[in-house]
Amino acid sequence: MISAHILTLLIFTPLVGGVLLLFFRNESVVKSIAILFSAADVALAIYLYLSFDPAGNQFQFVEEMPWITNLNISYHLGIDGISLLLVSLTTLLTLVSLVASWSSIQKRVKAFNFFILFLEVGMIGVFSSLDLFLFYIFWEAMLIPMYFIIGIWGHERRVYAAIKFFIYTMFGSLLMLVAIIWLGYYAGTLPQGKFTTNLVELYKIAPTIPLSVQTWMFLAFTLSFAIKVPVFPLHTWLPDAHTEAPMAGSVLLAGVLLKMGTYGLLRFSLPLFPQSTFIFLPLMAILAIIGILYGALVSMVQKDLKKLVAYSSVAHLGFVVLGIFAITIESIQGSVIQMVNHGFTTGMLFLLVGMLYDRRHTREINEFGGLAKVVPLLATFFMIAMLGSIGLPGLNGFVGEFLILLGSFKSEFLGNEAYAIAATLGVILAAVYMLWMYQRVFFKTVDNPRNQSLKDLDVREVAVLVVMVLFIIWIGIYPMTFLSKSEPAVKALVDTMARAKIGVLTSVR
């Protein structure tokens, strides 16, 4: 019974919790309800994970109910290995950020918790939608709570950052809406076809669209995703949004929202428009590599700790985009696992920066120094997160990065090893900016007197960080738990693209 509607449950449980908590006045009760419902979602996700059939490459747990019948729009949900991982990540990170923010959010606690839960609804909805219209609704629905979260509970330039985030992202989304409608309309012009936004059907139809039209649709979709990822040069909303957002906002923004862009590329841009993908492949790969190197170099010279981590996200997602457009099983698997990894490592970094901010109310790097002596536990967790981020073998980041680089090196779609070689330089640069930052913040002596009496982590903070570390190590040492789930879906995608390349346009699904 549960498994028949588990996706709907996953999506709307947080909403129920969000509405419920509005009725209570006591802040602790409100926070507890929020945590309870998001924990329930985590439990559902675990159930989902365990009941997922690892061999199938079709969508699983499919729910389909007609909605707007004369436009063929239905309430259509389903997941495959890729979305399974991302949905699980979302539930986990939401719970983590709620627990971590227990003491950082002082004002309007009800609204904050409501918005976080509302955000979770949107995020899981995006990953499980198989109907383009439904997908669009969830996609846009995420913008509103995020806008409020940044704009109300953020830092000094929060209003500017929130507006920039909203408008920038919405601009892309509107173009995507045009493309969705166009696509549905095109389906209607086919003999015996009708307007539809059903993804499974569009998988069969879209690759047959004449190239001149298909290119525009591809661009519309990809632009929207490229803004979200973000791909250079559309990335400038990210440093502001990440820096000004409160800790929970940054964790979810970096941990999940950015992945929607890359997920969109995998779920829509590539399989719907393969021929256009091939045309734009070199461009996207180059932009990805610029992102890797540029993101790292700009990260290096930042003076604000959070901005540094924000720019590092640009660099990390650059790897993911490269992996996607290399279109080999290894590289896309690497991208998928790296999406999950980034959620953990960068999410953990934002948690730690948030914890530092809670204590000192500053994010300036030169306000710190010598912290390893004062808060050794925090310093240790920070070291682990940092090492995961720079791809130390044995931790999660290495698995993703290595698969991406290896896959890109041997990719026939990219055709040139130079892409992978340029991207590997990012490995050096990542160490540079991270270690230098760690040196200035945690090592050296405690020069600033305000740093001398900082309190180390409390039990709640340690609990949250331990959960993150657990996954960082688990994925690094035994990634097969996760890689095996997504492999069939990735294989299907690569197969589809390979056939499209040689002109065979049947979809594997």
Partner 1 sequence: MYHYIAWVVVFPIFGVIINGILGSTLQKKFGEKFVGVIGSATIGFSFLLALGIFLDMLGEPETSRSHIVEVYRWIATGGLTVNVSYLVDQLSIVMLLIVTGVSFLIHIYSIGYMHGDRGVFRFFTYLNLFVFAMLNLVLADNYLLMFLGWEGVGLCSYLLIGFWYDRKFGGVGITWTGDAGMKAFIVNRIGDFAFLIGMFLIFVNFGSFNFEAIFPGISARFGSGDATLTWITLLLFIGATGKSAQIPLYVWLPDAMAGPTPVSALIHAATMVTAGVYMIGRSAVLYALSPTTMLIVAIVGATTAIYAASMGLVQNDIKKILAYSTISQLGYMFLAMGVGAFSAGIFHLMTHAFFKALLFLGAGAVIHALHESQDIREMGGLKNFMPVTYKTFLMASLAISGIPPLAGFFSKDEILSHVYASSLWLWLVGVVTAFLTAFYIFRLFILTFEGKPRFDVHHLHVHDAPRSMLLPLWVLGILSIVGGWVGIPTSLGGGEWFDKFLEPVFDPAVARMPSIFFVEHSTEYILMVFSVLLAVGGIYLAYTAYLRKPEISAKIKSAVGDFYDVLINKYYVDEIYRAIIVKPLVYVSDRYLWRGIDETAIDGSVNGIGKFVRLVGRIGRRLQSGLVQNYILAFVLGIIIIMGYLILK
Out of 43, 190, 279, 301, the residue judged to bind partner 1 by CB under 8 A? 301
SS3 419: helix
Piece of 125-133, 193-201, 245-253, 482-490 that binds partner 1 (CB under 8 A): 482-490
Cβ atoms of 257 and 146 within 8 Å: the answer is yes
Contact pick of 233, 455, 458, 504 for partner 1 (by CB under 8 A): 233
Task: Identify the CA nearest to 328 among candidates 498, 81, 500.
Answer: 498
Interface with partner 1 (CB under 8 A), residue from 28, 103, 208, 236: 236
Q: Which amino acid is at 106?
A: Q
Torsions phi, psi for 53 (to 5 deg): -85, 115
Q: Which is nearer to partner 1, 132 or 375 (CB)?
A: 375
Closer of 164 and 267 to partner 1 (Cβ):
164
For residue 117, give Cα distances in angstroms to 41, 146, 414.
Answer: 10, 11, 40
Binding residue for partner 1, selected from 181, 297, 365, 473, defined by CB under 8 A = 297
For residue 44, state whether it binds partner 1 (rule: CB under 8 A). no
The two three-digit tokens of residue 334, written as one number: 């690497």
Span from 138-146, 190-198, 351-359, 474-482 in contact with partner 1 (CB under 8 A): 474-482
Mark 27-40 as b/e (b = at least 16 C-beta within 10 Å).
Answer: eeebbbbbbebbbb
Closer to partner 1 by Cβ: residue 174 or 446:
446
How many Å apart are CA 275 and CA 282, to the nearest integer? 13
Binding partner 1 (rule: CB under 8 A), the pick from 24, 49, 280, 443 is 443
Q: How many residues in the shown chain lie near partner 1 by CB under 8 A?
A: 58
Beta carbon nearer to partner 1, 144 or 383 = 383
Distance in angstroms (rounded) separating the CA atoms of residues 30 and 392? 40
For partner 1, the closer of residues 119 and 429 by Cβ is 429
3-state SS track over 86-100: HHHHHHHHHHHHHHH
CA-nearest of 81, 79, 203, 193 to 507 is 203
Residue 409 in contact with partner 1, rule: CB under 8 A = yes
Task: Give the one residue of 81, 487, 493, 497 binding partner 1; rule: CB under 8 A.
Answer: 487
What is the rounded CA–CA span in Å between residue 355 and residue 368?
13
Q: Is 428 in the site for partner 1 (CB under 8 A)?
A: yes
Residue matched to tokens 């095109």: 186
Which residues on neighbouring strands pair with residue 76, listed in sequence order? Answer: 64
CB 213 to partner 1: min, Å: 28
Is 394 within 8 Å of 476 (Cβ atoms)? Answer: yes
Whether 201 and 509 have beta carbons less than 8 Å apart is answered as no
Least Å from the CB of residue 366 to partner 1: 14
CB of 241 to partner 1, least distance (A): 12
- What is the residue whose two structure tokens read 């730690």? 352
Tokens of 375: 């808060």
To the nearest whole angstrom, how small is the minimum distance from the Cβ of residue 235 to partner 1? 8
State the minimum distance, in angstroms, from the CB of residue 297 to partner 1.
4
483 binds partner 1 (CB under 8 A): yes
Residues that bind partner 1 (CB under 8 A): 164, 168, 233, 235-237, 294, 297-298, 300-302, 328-330, 333, 370, 372-373, 376, 387, 392-394, 398-399, 402-403, 405-407, 409-410, 417, 420-421, 424-425, 427-428, 431-432, 435-436, 439, 442-446, 477-480, 483, 487, 490-491
